């Protein structure tokens, strides 16, 4: 046993960790969520079904290849996970769930051809206030499993936008237009062929489309895939209805 994992076990014994969803004491080997709560997160399994409702958000807007999310955003349990990641000073939840997502998608070939991972950047002021960028931790978890490198500083968020939560679909588009700038002297970014964009929650897709447009400004022929932790459950049948309905409008 490595010394670091022995130390973790001793610390765990002295200060038992609790599941962020049900509050039960975690056993050795469990991290952040107990086995039951992790298994019960309602999976989208979009990496097994293409085309899917998440990819559809990006059709005609960017050169999209694949899109998947770990779970549908529905109910108290998924809310607790997302809230914990963003507001409880607990970024390692993101790294852990990024690893879970990548492990579940790996054998489907989802990552085939992807050359780099770009997490949605936070504005520097917001990142200082929170202490971390939750999307960066998700990206690091995915990178740990896949070996694909993370480009954490290739794109900058120029504008500190207000939260999208209470905005309708049109207001969301308006809120994120031209808020990102890709570094034009980053030669890898301007020459690579396929990038994976990471967000914690994809709702209308507006933030990721704006991010993709900033990258297209330095690399017009680039292709994108998209991953997030959560996707709204109301959108799950969007393929059948043809047009996703915005839950916030
Ligand atoms: Zn639990």
3-state secondary structure 93-133: HHHHHHHHHHHHHHCCCCCCCCCEEEECCCCHHHHHHHCCC
- Calculate how far, in angstroms, residue 193's C-alpha sits from the geometric centre of ligand 1: 40
pLDDT tens sequence for the chain (249 residues): 556 667 766 666 666 689 999 999 999 889 999 999 999 999 999 999 999 999 999 999 999 999 999 999 998 999 999 999 988 778 899 999 999 999 999 999 999 999 999 999 998 888 888 889 999 999 999 999 999 999 988 999 988 877 767 777 777 777 788 889 999 899 999 999 999 999 999 999 999 999 999 999 999 999 999 999 999 988 776 665 554 444 433
Length of the chain: 249
Ligand 1 centre distance from Cα of residue 18 (Å): 8
Query: Kind of pairing, strands 149-150 and 155-157?
Result: unpaired
Q: Which residues surround ligand 1, an ion (CB under 5 A)?
A: 19, 21-22, 34, 37
Q: What is the pTM of this model?
A: 0.88
* Strand partners for 199: 228
**Structural domains present in the chain:** 10-40 (no CATH), 50-241 (3.40.50.2020)
CB contact set of 5 (below 8 Å; sequence gap of 6+): none
Interatomic CA distance for residues 212 and 202, integer angstroms:
14
List all residues 6 or more positions away from 167 whose beta carbon is below 8 Å from its beta carbon.
175, 248
The tokens describing 9, both together, are: 């076990």
Torsion angles phi and psi, residue 119, rounded to 5: -80, 150
């Amino acid at each position: 046993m490595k010394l670091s994992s022995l130390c973790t076990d001793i610390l765990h014994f002295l200060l038992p960790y609790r599941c962020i969803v049900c509050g039960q004491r975690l056993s050795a080997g469990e991290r952040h969520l107990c086995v039951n709560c992790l298994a019960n997160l309602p999976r989208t399994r979009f990496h097994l079904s293409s085309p899917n409702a998440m990819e559809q958000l990006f059709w005609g807007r960017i050169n999209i290849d694949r899109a998947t999310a770990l779970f549908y955003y529905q109910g108290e349990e998924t809310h607790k996970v997302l809230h914990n990641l963003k507001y409880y000073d607990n970024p390692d939840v993101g790294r852990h769930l990024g690893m879970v997502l990548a492990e579940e998608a790996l054998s489907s070939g989802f990552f085939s051809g992807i050359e780099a991972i770009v997490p949605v950047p936070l504005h520097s002021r917001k990142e200082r206030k929170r202490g971390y960028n939750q999307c960066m931790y998700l990206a690091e978890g995915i990178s740990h499993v896949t070996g694909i490198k993370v480009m954490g500083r290739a794109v900058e968020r120029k504008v500190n936008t207000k939260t999208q939560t209470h905005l309708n679909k049109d207001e969301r588009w308006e809120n994120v237009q031209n808020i990102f700038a890709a570094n034009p002297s980053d030669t890898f970014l301007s020459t690579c062929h396929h990038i994976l964009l990471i967000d914690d929650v994809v709702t209308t897709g507006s933030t990721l489309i704006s991010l993709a447009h900033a990258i297209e400004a330095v690399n017009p022929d680039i292709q994108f895939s998209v991953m997030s932790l959560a996707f709204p459950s109301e959108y799950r049948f969007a393929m059948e209805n043809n047009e996703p309905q915005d839950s916030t409008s």
